[in-house]
Amino acid sequence: MSTADTPGEGDKTPAPSRTRMGFFAAAAVLVVAADLATKVAVVATIKPDDRPIKLFGGAVYLVQARNSGAAFSVGTGATVMLTAISLVVAFVILRAARRLTSTPWAVALGLVLGGAIGNLIDRFFRAPSVGKGHVVDWISLFASDGHVWPIFNLADSSIVVGGAIAVLLSVRGVDFNGGRNPMEADDETQDSKISDA
C-alpha cells in the first residue's frame, strides 16, 4: 500500500476505494446520459401541443412539459433559487463523496448527483435564459395532464430513488464507511445483554 493510500495516524476511517468511487461516478454519469438522451428524444419527437402517447392502458403517458420549478413541479416561481440550491447540493455531494467507503451510499449519492446535474443542464442551456431554463418533463402517470401525479423526468426519478436509498441506509444505521452507526451498535449490544440475562 502506498503512503497516499494509508490513513493518517489515529484515523480509523478507511480510505475510499476506487471501486466505490467508480460506483458513485458510474451512477451519476449513467443518470445524466439517460436523462439527457430521453429529453433530447422527447423534444425532437413530441411537441407540447401534440396528443400524448398513451402506454400500458393509460397507466403512463408520454408528453412534453416545461417546468420552471423543482422535481415534480414544486416551487415553480423560484427558478433562480432552485438553480442555486441544486448547485449547492451537487457541491456538498461531491465533497461527501471523498469520504465514501460504502457501496450503497456511493450508489445513492451518485443517483442524487446525476439527477441534480441532469436538471441543472436544462437550467443553464434551455429557454428562457441561463440559470432560469425550464426543465423538460415528459412522464405523466394515470393522466395525460399531470393532475393525478406531477409530470416528471428521469432526473427527478433518480433523485427520489437515491434519496430513498439514503433514508433506508440511515434508518438501518449504515454510515459512509459501510459500518454500523456506533449508537446503533450500542443499542444492539444492550439488546443482546438483555436477551442473555
Closest listed residue to residue 155, CA positions, set 27, 51, 49, 64: 27
What does the block give as the cell for 112?
442524487
Long-range residue pairs from 11-18, CB within 8 A, at least 24 positions apart, any chain: 13/99, 13/101, 13/177, 14/101, 14/177, 14/178, 15/101, 16/97, 16/98, 16/99, 16/100, 16/101, 17/101
Of residues 5, 11, 122, 156, which has the active-site annotation? 156
What does the block give as the cell for 117?
446535474
Is there a contact between 73 and 146 (Cβ–Cβ < 8 Å)? yes
Clarify whether 156 is annotated catalytic. Answer: yes
Clarify whether 137 is annotated catalytic. Answer: yes
Of residues 5, 50, 122, 137, which has the active-site annotation? 137
What does the block give as the cell for 105?
451510499
To which residue does cell 420552471 refer?
Answer: 68
What does the block give as the cell for 29?
454519469
Q: Which residues are catalytic?
A: 137, 156
